[in-house]
């Protein structure tokens, strides 16, 4: 219940927002074995999250694991995006939890010529 309250509190300031479900699959190309597909899919990490997004940002929360087994731990992500003149700024904070949360931050600044 605490997680749902936190998700709602973070999503409140988002303008023109809506709920969604997302599946994210990450794998290292050096682990991909074309002769073993689909069994090499088990070497991938897959996130299944529910989210709420809007004009300026989003929040997501769910589970992750190997292949389609979402039993390893929790995953969460929150991000933002805005334009400033010809610049587009976007970023995200993403975390994974088995016993303790492990967080990462990504920021991108892009200048658009046209």
What's the CA gap between 46 and 70, in Å, rounded?
Answer: 7
What's the CA gap between 79 and 48, in Å, rounded?
Answer: 17
| pLDDT for residue 1 is more than 80 | no
Longest Cα–Cα distance of the chain, Å, equals: 49
Domain boundaries, the chain: 2-111
| Cα 52 from chain centroid (whole Å) | 12
Q: Which of 10-14, 45-49, 73-77 has the lowest mean pLDDT?
A: 10-14
For the stretch 51-106, pLDDT in tens is 999 999 999 999 999 877 888 999 999 999 999 988 999 999 999 999 999 999 99
H/E element holding 7?
helix 2-11
| Lookup: tokens for 78 | 């929150």
């Amino acid at each position: 219940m605490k997680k749902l309250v936190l998700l709602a509190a973070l999503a409140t300031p988002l303008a023109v927002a809506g709920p969604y479900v997302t599946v994210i699959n990450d794998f290292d190309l050096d682990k991909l074995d074309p002769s073993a597909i689909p069994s090499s899919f088990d070497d991938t990490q897959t996130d299944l999250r529910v989210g709420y997004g809007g004009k300026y940002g989003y929040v997501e929360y769910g589970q992750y694991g190997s292949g389609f087994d979402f039993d390893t731990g929790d995953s969460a992500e929150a991000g933002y995006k805005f334009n400033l003149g010809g610049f587009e700024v976007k970023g995200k904070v993403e975390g994974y939890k088995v016993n303790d949360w492990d967080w990462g931050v990504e920021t991108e600044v892009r200048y658009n010529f046209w």
